[in-house]
Each structure stands twice: as C-alpha cells, then as structure tokens.
Structure 1
C-alpha cells in the first residue's frame, strides 16, 4: 500500500533502483526521465516529449506519439481512443504512468498494437460498463505482462505446468541461454519498485530461435517487439488463458534469496497450478 499511495500522489521516483534486473533494460532513458520527474511534472513531460520527437514513434492509428498532462484529456474521452486518434498519451506525475511511457520506447510496436486493438474494440462496442474479454486481455498484457522468450519447448511446458523445480532449479543454467524474461507491464514495474516475494507477472510465452541468445539486447528486444505485436494484431480470440503466472523474484539471477532451492518450496507463491472444475 505504501508504494501505491506514494505513486498516487506523485512521489516514489527516487526509490527506483536501476541496477535491478527488471529495470536495467530501461535504465539509460529511465535515469534521465527520473531526474525530470524529481524536478517537476512539466520537466518529466518535457523529457518524454523530447524523446518522442527524436524517435518519431506512432500510436495505434499512425499518429505521432506525444505525452500530455492528464488534465488535457477532454471530458468524456476514452483514454485509448484518444491516444489512437490524436497520438497524445495522457500522463500523470506518478510511477504508473512513468513506466507506461517507458514502454512506448522499449517496445513501440507492441504498445501500438495494444492501442490499435483497444481503440478498435471501443469503436465497435463503445466504452460500456465492462471491457469485455478481448479488452480485458489486452489490459492485462499492458499492465502486468512478462515476455518469456524461450528456445526450449520443455521449459515452456514447465512454466505452463507450474513445474517450478524443473524450470528454476533443475534447469537453472538454461536462463540466459535457452530462456529469459523481459518485463513489459507498467503496473508490474510499479510494484517492483518495492519488490515482494509474491509479486507475480503474467508471462506471455514467445518461441524464439536458438540463435536469439547470441544476439545483443537491442536486437532481441526488436525481434520480440516485431513478433509479439504481429501476434496481438493477428489473433482474434485473445483470452487470459494465454498467460502463465510467473513469480518475478523466482527468476534465476534476479533475486539473491532464490539461490537456495528452498526458496521455491513456498507453496503460497509457487503454487501447484490452477484449480480444475
């Protein structure tokens, strides 16, 4: 609750530890944005828009990306529809929107694909009291997804089957060589400012070629961005069952306490699986 409350009122930026593995991939830009956020709301927006101008990124309908203050969102306008039609992302002075903005640069095609699907659904069905299944899945991806890049089908099967001993103990040496994770969900990143053992992301499994693990990080991210965005745009029946729960602090190399196998014996975090009917 402390982190959520701090984020809500615009504090917490100083608590980001860029050395943590879940933040390291965003550190170069993030540290600069962090200094802007600590200076003022206007300074943060200025940093974000300077990068948007340099990157020439577009949103779901090809509009040039820009960041605006939350109060500049017209009354009654739907958030995703506004982004798609104008390119302007309403942004609050908090951690949640800070990390949301980061994703527009880390995985620009995925963010544009999510925006395109969300805005199309709004056009077809309106905003409504509930989002519906597809929009719920898109929102879950946007807020809490991890990209699980994997070249070994046995490891993907272990993740789907909640087989933590196989995935994280017996095949610990596979991490970084046959599988790895990229954080995507901005709500998940917000929670990881103050990490806790039960913090769990929704893993989106991406089959990658073995040569993927010989590429540098920018090439891997660009490949993931292209492939995952194409999947999001090309799959009609998106459901939450397409994700696999993955406790973030269990990822080998991401948390010192998980070097002891007993770490994974906590059944309240590393659960045996979904209940069946």
Structure 2
C-alpha cells in the first residue's frame, strides 16, 4: 500500500499517533498488509477484510469476535491507529453500535444514536480548553476563538479521534472539520475516562461542536494571517439560536 508514504508525521494532529504510526507504516513499506502491521501486544486483533463474512454487519462482527477486519487502505490504517491509542473508547463505541444493530437491525437509516456514534468515530475530536475558548467555540464566535483569545490555545489540548478525519488530513484542506466533544480535568484525553463518558442517551443528542481544525493556532501556517478566518464558507456564523452542548456525563 503506497498511501502511507504520503503521510507527514510532523503534523501536529498526528503527534499522538506518530510512534506507532511510523512503525506500522515502515512495516507496510516492507510489504506487510495493514492488518499485520497494526498488531500490538494487546487487543484488538486486526484481521484481513475477507475474515468478515458476506452480509455480516461489520460492527456486530467486531463485537462478537474481538477482531477488526482491515483493508489495505489509509482509512483502515488510521482506524487501527485509533484502536491502538483508544482501545477502551473504541470498544465502547463498538458495543453501543452492536447493541443498536441487535435491537433495531440494519436499516436504510441508522437512527439518532448510531448516527452520532458513526459521526464521532469517523470525524470526532476531543478538546480540553479554558472555558472562554469553549464558550467561543460553542457560539461559533470565530474572531474571539482564534484572534482575541488566541493566546489561550497554549492552555488547550486538541486530539483528533476520527479516523476518517485523520485520513482527510493527509492532504490538508481548509474546510476539514472535526466534531468536537469537550473534555474536562487532568484525565480529559484519557482512554478510560472517555469510555466512561460515552453514554448512549447523551450521545444521541449529538453533543458535538464543529471545529475547522486548520484554524487551530500552531496547526497550520496560513492561519497566522488575519484574513484566514474571514472565509464564511468554512468559518460559518452561528445559527439564530446558539448551540451550547453540555460537557456530558462524567
């Protein structure tokens, strides 16, 4: 698989995944399939995609077997890296998906909970930040968030969780947007703490706030220019009633 050669591991959003990611990418460059390159000392076990029986729901299969069918592409490569970094949170997401599939089956639409689970799994991020930044983000007050209170980002930590978003950021585009959950406390980005917070009733409300990640100070050189944030197609104004998602359980 040639795609891993295009990854720039110096990008700030890849810092939490760099050590394991570079090692796995090196193994892939030597000819190993992605599933084999991702194997670690503990669960889950990554298996080739053909291990998924035809017609079987992916999430149900992962839940029942403890194995993750994996294709030789960037999407599944990044999914594996997130599994390695957040095994308990990924297990919790998978458990909730599988439970919903067992309850309601696989239909034309996922329903609010499965929709939210998929959104976070594919495109989510975790933000630990001073209250002033979170309020500005929830209000879509981009000038406050990125200009007036820019210095507060030194006290913030942002972790991209969604593997589809990590894949998109291999070729960064200004419009790349995460769906962010607020985290709190010293263990805010901790795997076990995140797993505990993933309450289905809360997630079904989609308590996420959109954040164009290339606007984050230090994440993209272009955002040093003040007019970077003037692009209303990316930095969209708030709706008439500002959304203020709750921090959630835990």
TM-score under structure 1 length normalisation: 0.82
Aligned match for 2:126, one of 140, 147, 151? 147
How far 1:241 moved relative to its partner? 3.8
Deviation per CA, 1:60-79, whole angstroms, max 9, x where unpaired? xxxxx211111111112110
Aligned match for 2:158, one of 177, 181, 205? 181
Which blocks of at least 5 consecutive residues in structure 1 are unaligned? 1-9, 58-64, 213-218
Q: C-alpha separation between the residues in 2 aligned to 1:220 and 1:245?
A: 19
Which blocks of at least 5 consecutive residues in structure 2 are unaligned? 242-250
**Aligned pairs (5 A) from 1:39-50:** 39-42=30-33, 44-49=34-39
Cα pair 2:89 2:194 within 8 Å, conserved = yes
Q: C-alpha separation between the residues in 2 aligned to 1:199 and 1:18?
A: 18
Residue 3 (structure 2) aligns with: 12
How far 1:36 moved relative to its partner? 2.0
Residue 86 (structure 1) aligns with: 65
TM-score under structure 2 length normalisation: 0.91
How far 1:89 moved relative to its partner? 0.4
Cα pair 2:17 2:81 within 8 Å, conserved = yes
**Aligned pairs (5 A) from 1:243-258:** 243-258=208-223
More helix by share: 1
Residue 197 (structure 2) aligns with: 231
How far 1:254 moved relative to its partner? 0.4
Residue 261 (structure 1) aligns with: 226
How far 1:220 moved relative to its partner? 6.1
The secondary structure found in structure 1 opposite 2:154 is: coil
Q: C-alpha separation between the residues in 2 aligned to 1:246 and 1:162?
A: 9
Are 2:112 and 1:112 aligned? Answer: no
Residue 163 (structure 1) aligns with: 141
Cα pair 1:106 1:221 within 8 Å, conserved = no
